[in-house]
Structure 1
Amino acid sequence: MRLRALQVISPTPYVLPMKSSSSSALLFFLGGVIVFLFLVIVLLILWKNKIPKELGNLVVRSRGRKASKDFLSGNLRTISYFDFHTLKKATKNFNPANLLGVGGFGPVYRGKLQDGTFVAVKKLSLEKSQQGESEFLAEVRMITSIQHKNLVRLLGCCSDGPQRLLVYEYMKNKSLDLIVYGKSDQYLNWNTRFQIIVGIARGLQYLHEDSPLRIVHRDIKASNILLDEKFQPRIGDFGLARFFPEDQAYLSTTFAGTLGYTAPEYAIRGELSEKADIYSFGVLVLEITSCRKNTDLTLPSEMQYLPEYAWKLYERSRIIELVDPRMREDGFIEKDVLQAMDIAFLCLQPHANLRPPMSEIVAMLTCKVEMVERPMRPAFLDRRPKKENLSWDTISEAFPSPLRSDSISLSRPTK
């Protein structure tokens, strides 16, 4: 009896092997899931870091294998790559009806991708050849190295045979020149114009002082300022931009930009620094306030060149006459507009070292910081015909290098 009771109480010999089999199956399943996820992550990393063959070949061909290695190791890997057929379809075969504008790089078209996203497609003019390829690569590298709410965002690019295209986010209100130059009936009140001025200033401050790279844009003008649905500005077109070494005051380079916006030391001697962008910003502020081009040969002679005409009004205490007549009818706070124009004149000073950095300009605009000194007469050439011949040497003497000399001999205006 005792032996039989023990046999009844003892566990069955099959329970333990069943538990062991279940645990092994669970471990095998979990291990398989972990391996699968690991492989997916590796593939995603490899796919993300893959540079399209066509783009890689273009970089090697343009810069050489040694230089291209550094070029391709940066943020160029983070942008999307579009094939030419996709962009051709998105813009309806680059239909003229979708043309947004034409810049030095080439035409820009409005496009709609298959998922419904609107984009702006910049197409390099085929006749640009090698110079255009350099600008294409410069813009791709430049804009993938920086990120700011007042800089246009590059979505991707295309390099297909001879075709070179850049794909940007689409800006609903297009470019500033359409409004400033009267190509649109749209009217902007002073608050919106001031918002645009401050946004451009903040974008330039980031490029000059806050970005990982010190960058000079070289082509700040109304057509390169894009406006979103809320009229927030974004600086675009980085094809002429230059990385700037931290240990150099300026670069010596050939002129590239737009006359009318160009600082004299850069246009005449090729001395490039961030102060060239600041000069261009000053011209742009005058354009936004007056709603006219910086050069308009249809006007009377004394009014044709905006900085020169604005300074004449400033000397006569009549600068308010420069304000857009529609804005005067709508109403504005006069002291705020006058302060913006005073800041514009500070940016236009003849000596580059006298132009304040963008951080100070932003502070003056947003914190209403008063200017310590009055601005000097802007730097512009006297375009009236003279009896004597005007040579580049005499022009250079009129504008001594602000970056090679500590002394200046310019008189302050009397008022």
Structure 2
Amino acid sequence: MLHPFSKTVVIPLAVLLCLSNLAAADPQTNLLNFGCSSYNATDPSVFLSNRNATISDLLSQISEASSGGSGGFSATAERSSSPEPVYALAFCRVYLSHGDCLTCLSTAAAHLRDCGAGTGGRAVYDGCEARYESGPFYDQGSQPGNAPVCVNGTSATSGFAASVLALMRDLSSATPRVSGYFAAAIGSGVYGVAQCSPTVTSSVCANCLLVAFGNIKQCFPSSDGRAVDAGCFLRYSEKAFFPANSSMDLAVYIQSGSKSKKVAIVGAAAAGACILLVLGLVLFLWIRWSRRPEEHWRGDILGATELRGPTNFHYADLKSATNNFSKENKLGEGGFGEVFKGTLKNGKIIAVKKLTMTQTKSARASFLSEVKLISNVHHQNLLRLLGCSGKRQELLLVYEYMANGSLDRFLFGGTGGMLTWKQRFDIIVGMARGLAYLHHEFHVCIIHRDIKSSNVLLDDNFKAKIADFGLARLRPGDQSHLSSYFAGTLYAWQLHEEGRLPKLIDKSMDPHDYKLDEVLRAITVALLCTQVAAARPTMSEVVVLLLSEGWPQLTLTKPAFIETQGRAGDEITSSPVSSSAANTSILMPKFSAR
């Protein structure tokens, strides 16, 4: 049986192999690093279908490419509009032939299949790399988990370590300036290559190779070593592992930025040397910090596969991105603070929340602890926390930007008619799935405590993403998070008792746009959630109830607390309902499976 990833490329691959010189073929499929996400997709069948199709797209693109260009053979593919999105990237070392590249990437595709429903996977070989994730990652450079891969055995060549050091330094310096981010060179008895992902920027490439250079030095005096990272690759060997005609003159790129400064005066040179010394010290400290062992990694290099801390943003960058937190950039304001739209230097649009928290030592510790936790929450119906900034007086959170704003804008902001029933129902189910993940599927139970329409954001496709989760106190492990009471305005309950629930339906919706029984089902589930604690369904059960084909007879009981005053502006007061209050039974009709 053909592997699903290889169906579209098996014929062209066979032809290429037949036409090529098989004796010289070397796809370099020595596996250096392999890792899978420890988080599984919410809907495995949809995710696996998307992942298989995306990786098949990668292989098809490379199979159909006539040449690799300066950066070699590479491709990206994605299924970004799906409820279970997948983003993927694959590329080969430039010196690999077309056939060898396809062989290497086909091997990678087979390896990535072993990740099952894991939301991320990466396979790195001597000859190629392939990776997929449930979110965009193309701009990533150095990530936690970067490491050297050293071969046992030392070189007997005199001065080998010094030759390697000089070559690796030159490759790290030159490669970010080379078109395609790939360089190969031959030193004194040593062969070396450096490569960055074709999707990163020059500065990201330079920073990544700086870390890789620090890692690969740990291999000395081994005769063969590599440094592997999310966005770059560095290798040396005393044996030739690429054709001699792939080698280039690195001096052209190393000196390209300094030709116009050869007539600099001695004083300026001395000042420059001082600046370089300071920068070198800063970079050294930064490398030491980036490799600090306070996180316990398991050897993989997938940025989002293990529990890790949030990305730290510079306050100055966020201030610039939001135009100094101007009123024009303000998106809204909630219980936790103001939110501003920002645009980073790379063009990425973000949302920045300024938290209204007291900057005490305990508050800061709480902030760092909870932010570290929620930065590891990844679900299609939960707003993604990208990072934070807490080095100044203000505590800032950086989130992904939601183009359609919050749900309340569509329900109460004069644009309610824009939401169809299907969109509304998908939002309801999405909210339930997001809360179910927080309550039951994440390794720590997170209770939101402030669910409302203004905390539900909508992306370009009107998919619901819950915001502000994890900012309230987390549920203690030995205590119930459920309140014994429900307080609020229940006109809804009165209409239910009177058998007039259709009166609750938004009049702006087209009656031909929805099925009445489906709307009544959603309303009834909402009323179930207002019952006393012991009678309320869990959020996982809510998802099942919303999507079930048919229900047994369900009993609704008047909530334990009913608001006695309901006029606008009245103070809310609640009174307990008598224990003899009548129960109301509803026999729900059978519904079609969704």
| CA distance, structure 1, for counterparts of residue 456 and residue 332 of structure 2 | 12
RMSD: 3.9
Tell me if structure 1 keeps the 8 A contact 2:377–2:384: no
For residues 486 and 495 of structure 2, the distance between their equivalents in structure 1, rounded to whole angstroms, comes to 26
Alignment of 1:12-411 (within 5 A): 29=190, 34-35=224-225, 37=227, 48=290, 75-77=307-309, 79-125=310-356, 128-130=358-360, 133=364, 136-137=367-368, 139-184=370-415, 187-238=418-469, 240-250=471-481, 265=485, 305=489, 308-329=490-511, 331-349=513-531, 351-384=532-565, 398=576, 410-411=581-582
Name the CA distance, whole Å, in 2 between partners of 1:180 and 1:171. Answer: 17
Maintained 8 Å contact 2:375/2:385: yes
Greater percentage in strand? 2
Q: How many Å separate the matches in 2 of 1:186 and 1:328?
A: 9
Q: Is the 8 A contact 2:406 2:457 kept in 1?
A: yes
Residue type of the partner of 2:227? L
Whole-angstrom CA distance in 2 between matches of 1:318 and 1:86? 55
Give the 3 Å change call, closer, same or farther, for CA 232–41 of structure 1 in structure 2: same
* Aligned partners of 2:350 and 2:399 also within 8 Å: yes
Name the TM-score, length of structure 2 as normaliser: 0.46
For the residue of structure 2 that corresponds to 1:325, the secondary structure is: coil
How many residues were matched structurally?
Answer: 307
Relative to 1, partners in 2 of residues 1:316 and 1:154: Cα closer, same or farther, differing over 3 Å?
Answer: same
Structure 1 unaligned regions, length at least 5 = 1-19, 53-73, 252-262, 268-293, 295-304, 386-391, 401-407
Following the alignment from structure 2 to structure 1, what is the Cα–Cα distance between the partners of residues 581 and 291?
Answer: 55
User: Structure 1 or 2: larger helix share?
Assistant: 1
Bigger shift: residues 98-107 or 138-147: 138-147
| 1:265 aligned counterpart, secondary structure | coil
Q: 8 Å contact 1:119–1:167 — kept in the other structure?
A: yes
- Greater RCO structure (CA 8 Å; 6+ sep): 1
Measure, in 2, the Cα distance between the counterparts of 1:123 and 1:218.
20
Residue 21 of structure 2 corresponds to: none
Q: What residue in structure 1 maps to residue 592 of structure 2?
A: none
Aligned residue type for 1:108: V
Q: Per-residue displacement from partner, 1:164-218 (whole Å, max 9, x unpaired)?
A: 1000010111111111222546610100000000000001111111111112111
- The code of the aligned residue for 1:366 comes to L
Matched, 1:413 2:574: no
Q: Secondary structure at the match of 1:413?
A: strand
Residue 223 (structure 1) shift: 1.1
**Cα deviations by residue, 1:303-350 (Å, 9 ceiling, x for unpaired):** xx3xx211111111111011000114453110000001011110011x
Distance in 2 of aligned mates of 1:133 and 1:21: 55
